[in-house]
Structure 1
Amino acid sequence: MNKKSLSERDICTKFITPALVKAGWNVHDQIREEVTFTAGRIIVRGRLHARGKKRRADYVLSYKKNLPIAVIEAKDNNHSLGDGMQQALAYGEALDAPFRISSNGDGFLFHDSTGLGGPVERELSLDEFPSPEELWARYRQYKGLDETARPTVEQPYYDDGSGRVPRYYQTVAINRAVEAVARGQDRILLVMATGTGKTFTAFQIIWRLWKSKHKRRILFLADRNILVDQTKNNDFKPFGQAMTKVTNRSIDKSFEIYLSLYQAVTGVEEEKNIYKEFSPDFFDLVVIDECHRGSAAADSSWRAILEYFSGATHLGLTATPKETNDVSNTDYFGEPVYTYSLKQGIEDGFLAPYKVVRIDLDRDLEGWRPTKGQVDKHGNEIEDRIYNQKDFDRTLVLEKRTPVVAAKITEFLERTDPYQKTIVFCENIDHAERMRQALVNLNPKRIAENYKYVMRITGDENEGKAELDNFINPEERYPVIATTSKLMTTGVDAQTCKLIVLDQRIQSMTEFKQIIGRGTRINDDYNKHWFTILDFKKATELFADPNFDGDPVQVYNPAEGASPVPEDEQGVEGGVGIAEDPAEYGADEGETWTNDDTGADDDAGDAKITKFYVDNVEVSVVAERVQYLDAQGDLITESLKDYTRKRVREQFASLDDFLRRWSGADRKQAIIDELAEAGVFWDDLIADVRKKLGDDPDPFDVICHIVFDQPPLTRKQRADQLRKTGYFDKYDGPARQVLDGLLTKYTDAGIEPVEDVKVLRLDPFRSMGSPIELIQAFGGKESYTDAVRHLEAALYHSAN
C-alpha cells in the first residue's frame, strides 16, 4: 500500500483509528471523529448573512462522554508527523483537553500540556498510543482529583435524546465547576457572556452533582421573578417532582432542588426571614444567578442568606463580574474557574455580531448655559452653570432633544425593518415616558395598527410591565419598541431584539455589558443573526476599555471598606442615585435605593428644584458615523474605506497580485466570499461608493477603485466596453445568444449568477432552449464552462 496516495480520511480509517482501538479506546463512547465544535462566525451581507469557517477537530477522545481529554489532528502522509500539531494545540486549548496529538499515519507526535514531568512532546509509534485508563489517570493527577472524586467527575450530563447537548464551552464550564466541587472548593465563579446558556450550564452542573449524590439539596437564588420562572419551566424541568419554588408563605422541606427569589425569603423584620426556617446546614450547594447583583455587596441585606448557609458550596454565575471599590465578586468567590467572553462567542458564531451607529447632538457636544435669570417652562429659575451630557434628562431636560432622538430611531427603523424588536434605554422613568410619547407621535401609522407598537416598560407601571413577556416572545409582534431604563438591563431573554438604542449615559462597565447582552442572542427561526446599536450618549466608547472583554480585576479592598461613589458614577448601577422605582431591580425593603424621578415638579415650599424643563432650545444632529466589528471581534474606529484598504492589502500585495488571483479563480464569487470572511463589509462599502459606481457595482470594481485607485466603472460600462471589442464575433447561433444573455445578466445582477449553471433555467435563456440543449451548443459542459471562464477574463481585461 502506497501511503502517499491515500487521502487524509483514508489515513484516519486505515491507520489512526485502528491504533486507537488497539490501545483500548472504544469507538462508540470514547472516540469521536470530525467533531465540529463552533458554529462559524456570522458574516453580515446587507439583509442576508453567511457563516465563516467552523472549527473541526479530526478526533476528540473522551474517557467518559462528557470528559474530553485528548485531541488528534490528522494529515495525509505527504505531511510530516508534526504538521498538525499547531492545530491540535489550538483545539486542545479551546476544548480544555490537555493531551494534543498530531499524526500522518506513521505514528503520533504527542504533546502533554499537564506539566507533570517528562518530555512535553515525544514521538510514539502506532503501537505505543496510551490507553484510556493511562490518560485518565494522568488527567486526574493534573486536575488534583483523587479516587473519592471519581464518582462525581465521571457522572454523565443529562441527555434526553433530543440532541441538545452542551456546546464545547458549556462542557468546559460544567467540567471545571464539577471538578472544583469534587476537589472541595467551596466558592466558585463562572463568567459566561449573555446569551451563552448560563442557566443550562448551571442545570448540568447541578444535575451531575445531584445524580452522583455529591450534593443532595440545592438552592438556586435569583433576584427577579422572571429568572426563577424561566429557569423552573425550561432548563430545570428535568428535575421534576424533586424541585419546588420557594414562596414567602410556607416551607416544605421534602424537596431537594429549591428555586427562590431573594425577596421571597427575606425581609426587614426578622420573622420575614423565612430562609431561617431551614437549618444552616440544610443545603449542600447554593447557586447564585446574576451574582454581580443582589448579594454582591458585602453589606447587602441579601448577603445574609449566603452567610447563613456559609457551610454550603456557593457557585456564582454572571456575564459581568462586578469589581468596584465597594463590590467584588472575586473577593467573595475567587478567580473565575472559566470565562467565555462576548468576543469569543461572536468569533465562534454562537453570539450575534453588531455594528454601532454613533450619533452626536450639538447640545451634547457643546453643552448649554442659561441666560442670566432664565426660567424653565414651569417658571423655575435655572441655576446658572454649563449643563452637559451628564445633566441632560437628569437635572435638566431639553424638551426638543427627545424628538430629535426619536426621529433618528424612527428613520432607522423605516429604512431597515419597522417591526424589528427595539429597546430604547433612557436615563430614568420620566425620560422613558417622554421618549414613548415622542415615538408615538412620529409613528401614527404604526400606532393606528396597534397602540402597543411603542410601550414604556418600567418598574413603576403595571401595564407596561405586563407587556414584557409579549416583547420577549418571538411569536408576538407587539410591542415592537420598548422604552425603559433599568428594568430590561438584565435577565430579559429578548431573542429577537435587533436594535438597541442608548440614550442613557452609562459609566458602569457591568451595566454596559448587560445592556449590550440584550442583543447578542441568535434566533435562526426569526432571522435574528446580528443587531445594531444606536448610540446618542457616547456609551459605546466603553468598547475601547480593556476591561470590556477582559478578565475581572479586583479593586475592592475589604480592609478599606466602601469608598465614596464618584460623582460620575452616581445614578448608575452600584451608585447612590438610581432614578428608578425599587421594583426595577426587584429590591427588597432592606436595600438602599433612591427614587428622585417621579417626573413631577417639586413645589413644596422652598424645596430645591431638582430638575428643570426647558422647551425653547433647539437641538440638532451634527455627526453620524457607523462602526463595525472586524474579523477579530474588535470595533473598527477608522473609516470604512481605510479599513477595507488595509484588509485587502493583507490578502493582495498589489493590483497585479489581485488581478492575477481574480483572473485565475475558477469562481470569482470565491474571492468575494474570502474577502467577506476576512472582514470586508461589502454591502456597507458598496453603499458608500454608489454615487461613483452605480446602484449595484461589481465588487471587483469596488476593490480596484477603493484599494488600488483605479478609475471607477459601473457594471454597464464594463459590459458595454466588452461588446465594443467584437468579442462575440467568434461565436454564432445559440452559443452567441447564451453568452450575450450572460453578459446582460452580469449587467443586471453581477458575477454570481453568471457562474451558476442554473441560470440557464431562467429568462431569457428559457426561450432559447433547455439547459442541456444550450450547453450542447458549446460542445458539452466542459466547453461551456471554458466559454464562461473566457467571457469573465475578457470582461475584466477589457477595462484594465
Structure 2
Amino acid sequence: MTKNISEADTRANYIDPKLIESDWTSDNIEREYYFTDGRKLLGNQRGKRLYLDYLLKFNNINLGLIEAKRSDEHPTKGLQQAIDYAEKLKIDFVYSTNGKQIYEFNRTVGKGDYIEKFPTPQELYNRLYGKNIELKKKLHNIPFYLTGAMRPRYYQEIAVNKVLENIAEEKKRILLTLATGTGKTFISFQIVHKLFQAKWNIDGENRRPRILFLADRNVLADQAINTFNPYEKDLVKINGEEVKSRNGVVPTNAFIFFAIYQAIAERENIGAYYKSYPADFFDLIIIDECHRGSADEDGSWRAILSHFNKAVHLGLTATPKREDNVDTYKYFGKPIYEYSLSDGINDGFLTPYKVKRIRTNIDEYIHTNDNKVIQGEIKKDRYDINDFDKSIIIPKRTDLIARAILNNIGKMEKTIVFCVNQDHALELRDMINKHKTVSDSNYCVRVTSDEGKIGRNFLEAFQDNDKDIPVILTSSKMLTTGIDARNVRNIVLTSPIGSIVEFKQIIGRGTRVYDGKDFFTIIDFAGATDLFYDSAWDGIPEDETETYETGEINDEKIRKKTSVTTIQEPKEEYGERKEKLIIELSNGRILKVIDVDIRYIDENGKPLTVREFLEKLVGELPAIYQDENHLRKIWANPDTRKELLAQLGTLGFEKEQLDALRDMIASPECDIFDVLSHISFSSDIKTRRERASAVRNDNFFTIYQNLKAREFLEYVLNHYEKFGIEELQRERLGDLVKLKLGTPKDAKVVFGDMKNLLGAYYQLQQHIYQAV
C-alpha cells in the first residue's frame, strides 16, 4: 500500500531538491510568504491573510511564485489561485507543481506549459529585465532603507521597483496612483534612497542626483521632510525665510529640496525662486498630490514643471482618472501602478467604514415674515443645502448641527469636521464647545490656514496618538489631503462636495489603520455621500437597502443614482468678502434632526444590508437560535443565556467582539440581546433604559406585596439599566442581596425562602425581554 505523502513531505522530498538543482538557495526563497494583513474585523480581529507556498527572489526583486500540491495531486490543481496572487503581486512567472511535474505560466502572455526543471535565478532575471539591465540590476541590488522590524508592504515594493525600472528605461513622465493612507511618502523616500546610493542622474555623471519634492501645503512638505530624516544633512526647504537668510540667493548646496509651489512660484511682489535655478539643475521632481493642478496648462505648477522640463517628473496621486483630473493623466500618461481603496481595505491595510446620513427639518429655508433678517437681503425664494453658510447663515441651524455631531460620536473619538469655509469652521467650533460635556478648553479647535502656527500645533497634538486632546478639529480645505492622523474615528461632512476627487481625499482621512480601530464613520449632513453612487466611484453600486437609526429596514429600495448634486468650489478658500444673509428664526420654530439613515457601504461603494456588512467585518454570523422568540427565550433565562454566550465564544464572539458589534450598530446603552436580534431578524433596537421603563409600566412590581421585595427588584432593574446584563447573571444575585437586603437570612424573611427569591429574579428578566 502506497504511503499517503503530505504536501509538506512533497515540498521537502521533491520540490526543494529541484530548486537547489537550479541554483535557488535559501537567500532566494521565502516559504509561506504572507503578503496581506487580512481585512479588519470587529473586536481587533483579522480576516484571512493571503500567502504563497514559495516566493522566488533575486536581486531584491520578486521573480516568481510556486504553488505546491501533494505528489498524488494534479500539478496544476491550484494554478488559478496562484495566477490571481501573481496578478496582485505583479509577478510574471507562476509555477505549479506536485514535485514530479512542473508547470510554468507566463502571466504577461497568458500562456503556460510543462518544463523539465526550474530556471535559475539569473535566467529568470534576464528574461524579465533585458533592457538597460545593468542599471536596473544596480538599483535592484540596493536594499530598502528600513529600521528595526520595519518591512515594506507588497504594493510599496511594487511601486518603488516600477518607478526605478521606468527611470532606467529613460521614461520622463511617471505616475503612481495609490489610495490615501497607503504610504506614498514612504515610497518616495525609498525611491530617492536607491537613486542616491546608485548615484543615478540624467547626465550619467558620477554624482548624486538633485531632487525637488513639490507639495501644495506646508504641512505636507513638513511631513515629507520628517520621512526623509535619514538624509537630514542633504536636504533643504526652499522658502522666503531660507532665501532671506542667504541674502536673497536660493539654496543650491543640497541634494534633496522641498518646496510648496506657492513659495517658489511667481507672485506680485516677489520673483519666482524657481527661475533662479538652471533648467537642468534637478534630475527628478516628485509632485505630491499631483492632481491638484500641476498638469493643467494654466495651473500654477505647470510653469515650474515646464522650466525643469529635462528632469524626470514623478506624479503621486490618490485619485484614479476622472473628468476633473484628466489633465493630470494627459500630462503623465497612464499610471505605471495603481493600488485602490478597495485593495487597501480588503488587504487589511486600510480601515472599513459606514455612513450616517443625517437630515434636519431645516435643510432648506423659505423666508417668512416670522423670521428676522439680521444682515444682508433676501435674494432667493428658496435656499437649499448648497447655500447654507455660503450665502446664508442661520445660527440656530449651526447650533443644531453642533449638537447632532456630539450626539453621533463617542465623547473622546477623534473627529475631523469639514466645513464650508474658514468662517464656518470658526462658528461650528464655538457651537460644539458650547454644548460639549468635556471641560478641556481645547476639546474642539479650528485648524485652518488662518490659524497659522497655533493651528499646526493643534494638528500635531491631534495626530499624536498618545494625546487625547484635541478631540475634534473643524477645518475647511486644509485637511483634505495628506494629513496622517491614524486614530480618526469620524469624518463629518457639513456641505456638499463638488468633486469626487476631493471626496475621496476627504474619506481618506479616516482610512488609516490603528490598533482597536475596527471601522470609522462618515457623518454626512449635506448629501455629500451621494458621490458613492457615482459610476466612477469604484463601479456602479447595486440597489441599497435603507436602515434607520432604530435598525428598522425600509422595504422600499433606493434606485441607484446616475448623477449627484454638485457645487462649484471656489479656487481660493476665501474669495471676496461679500456680505452674507443672516437669519434669526422666530422663537416658535423648533429645529431638530428628523432622520438618521445608517448606510453600510463596502470598499467598492456598494451599499449592504446590516447583515452583509457585519459578515464582512465579523465573518459568517452564527445560526445557533431558530428565530427571534427562541433567542428571546434563551436570553431571558440566566442559565441558558450563559450557555449561549459560551457557544458564541467558541465561535469567536467573545465579550470584546460582542461589545464592538453593539457599539457599531447601536450604542453602549443597548443590550447585546437587541444587537443579536437586530442582526439576525432585523428587529428594532431598544436601549436598556427603554426596556427598564417598559417593566416599570407593566405593573410587574405590584404582584409583590412586601415593600422590601419590591424595592429589591427595582434595585436590580436599576442596576441592569445602568450597568448591563452582567447584573442579571445568577452568580451576581448573592452580591445584589448583600448590597440591598443584607444577609441571606434577611432575604429569606423578605421573600419567604430562597426559591421564591430566585424565581422573582428570573421572572424579572422575563419581563425585561418581553418588551418588543
With structure 2 as the length reference, what TM-score do the two structures score?
Answer: 0.75
CA contact (8 A) 2:145 2:190 kept: no
Query: What letter matches 2:341 in structure 1?
Result: L
Q: Which residue of 2 aligns with 1:283?
A: 282
Percent sequence identity over aligned pairs: 36
CA contact (8 A) 1:77 1:104 kept: yes
Q: Note closer, same or farther for the CA distance 1:259–1:492 as it changes in structure 2 (3 Å cut).
A: same
Cα shift at 1:491? 2.3
CA contact (8 A) 2:611 2:679 kept: no
Q: Which residue of 2 aligns with 1:37?
A: 35
Alignment of 1:451-466 (within 5 A): 451-462=441-452, 463-466=454-457
Counterpart CA distance in 2 for 1:538 and 1:236 is 39
Counterpart CA distance in 2 for 1:356 and 1:702 is 18
Q: Note closer, same or farther for the CA distance 1:440–1:129 as it changes in structure 2 (3 Å cut).
A: same
Secondary structure class of the residue paired with 1:452: coil
Cα shift at 1:150? 3.1
Query: What letter matches 1:383 in structure 2?
Result: K
Q: Which residue of 2 aligns with 1:236?
A: 228
Q: Which residue of 1 aligns with 2:190?
A: 204
Q: Which residue of 2 aligns with 1:405?
A: 401
CA contact (8 A) 2:237 2:259 kept: yes
Secondary structure class of the residue paired with 1:68: strand
Alignment of 1:262-341 (within 5 A): 262-268=261-267, 272-320=271-319, 323-324=322-323, 328-341=327-340
Secondary structure class of the residue paired with 1:455: strand
Q: Residue by residue, what CA displacement relative to the aligned partner does 1:598-644 show, whole Å, maximum 9, x if unpaired?
A: xxxx4xxxxxxx433343354322211212244xx244535426878
CA contact (8 A) 2:377 2:581 kept: no
Q: Which residue of 1 aligns with 2:463?
A: 472
Q: Which residue of 1 aligns with 2:373?
A: 376
Q: Note closer, same or farther for the CA distance 1:471–1:296 as it changes in structure 2 (3 Å cut).
A: farther
Cα shift at 1:106? 2.1
Q: Which residue of 1 aligns with 2:8?
A: 9
Alignment of 1:651-662 (within 5 A): none
| Greater Cα offset, 85-94 or 614-623 | 614-623
Q: Which residue of 1 aligns with 2:65?
A: 71
Query: What letter matches 1:4 in structure 2?
Result: N
Q: Which residue of 2 aligns with 1:246?
A: 238
Counterpart CA distance in 2 for 1:454 and 1:244 is 34
CA contact (8 A) 1:396 1:614 kept: no
Cα shift at 1:532? 1.2
CA contact (8 A) 1:286 1:314 kept: yes
Q: Which residue of 1 aligns with 2:529?
A: 540
Counterpart CA distance in 1 for 2:443 and 2:648 is 44
Q: Residue by residue, what CA displacement relative to the aligned partner does 1:50-79 show, whole Å, maximum 9, x if unpaired?
A: 1001111111111212x1121112222343
Query: What letter matches 1:85 in structure 2?
Result: L
CA contact (8 A) 1:42 1:353 kept: yes
Q: Which residue of 1 aligns with 2:489?
A: 498
Q: Which residue of 2 aligns with 1:615?
A: 585
Cα shift at 1:246? 2.3
Cα shift at 1:422? 1.0
Q: Which residue of 2 aligns with 1:640?
A: 610
CA contact (8 A) 2:41 2:616 kept: no
Counterpart CA distance in 1 for 2:619 and 2:408 is 33
Structure 1 position 431 matched with structure 2 position 443: no
CA contact (8 A) 2:374 2:584 kept: yes
Cα shift at 1:333? 0.6
Secondary structure class of the residue paired with 1:433: helix
Secondary structure class of the residue paired with 1:497: coil
Q: Which residue of 1 aligns with 2:258?
A: 259
| Greater Cα offset, 84-93 or 104-113 | 104-113
Cα shift at 1:21? 1.5
Alignment of 1:343-354 (within 5 A): 343-354=342-353
CA contact (8 A) 2:418 2:492 kept: yes
CA contact (8 A) 2:44 2:517 kept: no
Query: What letter matches 1:129 in structure 2?
Result: F
CA contact (8 A) 1:382 1:612 kept: no
Secondary structure class of the residue paired with 1:328: helix
Q: Note closer, same or farther for the CA distance 1:400–1:322 as it changes in structure 2 (3 Å cut).
A: farther
With structure 1 as the length reference, what TM-score do the two structures score?
Answer: 0.72
Secondary structure class of the residue paired with 1:252: coil
Counterpart CA distance in 2 for 1:549 and 1:196 is 17
Counterpart CA distance in 1 for 2:81 and 2:112 is 15
| Greater Cα offset, 31-40 or 15-24 | 15-24
Q: Which residue of 1 aligns with 2:18?
A: 19
CA contact (8 A) 2:40 2:617 kept: no
Cα shift at 1:486? 1.1
Secondary structure class of the residue paired with 2:401: helix
Aligned length, in residue pairs: 639
Q: Which residue of 2 aligns with 1:59?
A: 54
Alignment of 1:372-771 (within 5 A): 376-378=373-375, 380-413=376-409, 416=410, 418-443=411-436, 445-446=437-438, 448=439, 450-462=440-452, 463-524=454-515, 527-549=516-538, 570-572=567-569, 575-576=570-571, 578=572, 580-581=573-574, 594-596=575-577, 602=579, 610-616=580-586, 618-630=590-602, 633-635=603-605, 637=607, 639-640=609-610, 669=649, 683=662, 695-696=672-673, 705=681
Structure 1 position 86 matched with structure 2 position 58: no
In the TM superposition, structure 1's runs of 4+ consecutive aligned residues that sit over 4 Å from their partners are: 372-375, 566-571, 641-656, 666-674, 684-691, 701-707, 747-750
Query: What letter matches 2:334 in structure 1?
Result: E
Q: Note closer, same or farther for the CA distance 1:324–1:52 as it changes in structure 2 (3 Å cut).
A: same
Q: Which residue of 2 aligns with 1:359?
A: 358
Cα shift at 1:497? 1.3
Counterpart CA distance in 2 for 1:38 and 1:642 is 22
Secondary structure class of the residue paired with 1:43: coil
Q: CA RMSD in A?
A: 4.0
| Greater Cα offset, 393-402 or 239-248 | 239-248
Cα shift at 1:517? 1.0
Cα shift at 1:324? 3.8
Q: Residue by residue, what CA displacement relative to the aligned partner does 1:83-123 show, whole Å, maximum 9, x if unpaired?
A: 121221111111111111112222222111132xxx82212
Counterpart CA distance in 2 for 1:68 and 1:236 is 26
Query: What letter matches 2:40 in structure 1?
Result: I
Secondary structure class of the residue paired with 1:350: coil
Q: Which consecutive unaligned segments of at least 5 residues does structure 2 have? A: 202-208, 244-248, 541-562, 631-642, 684-690, 692-723, 736-772
Q: Note closer, same or farther for the CA distance 1:220–1:36 as it changes in structure 2 (3 Å cut).
A: same
Structure 1 position 221 matched with structure 2 position 191: no
CA contact (8 A) 1:149 1:183 kept: no
Q: Note closer, same or farther for the CA distance 1:41–1:351 as it changes in structure 2 (3 Å cut).
A: same
Cα shift at 1:17? 1.9
Counterpart CA distance in 2 for 1:567 and 1:111 is 45
CA contact (8 A) 2:402 2:428 kept: yes
Counterpart CA distance in 2 for 1:486 and 1:570 is 15
Structure 1 position 105 matched with structure 2 position 105: no
Q: Which residue of 1 aligns with 2:115?
A: 124
Q: Which consecutive unaligned segments of at least 5 residues does structure 1 have? A: 552-565, 582-593, 603-609, 708-713, 715-746, 754-758, 765-800
Cα shift at 1:311? 0.8
Q: Residue by residue, what CA displacement relative to the aligned partner does 1:577-604 show, whole Å, maximum 9, x if unpaired?
A: x4x24xxxxxxxxxxxx2447xxxx4xx
Counterpart CA distance in 2 for 1:619 and 1:697 is 30
Q: Note closer, same or farther for the CA distance 1:302–1:639 as it changes in structure 2 (3 Å cut).
A: closer
CA contact (8 A) 1:404 1:619 kept: yes
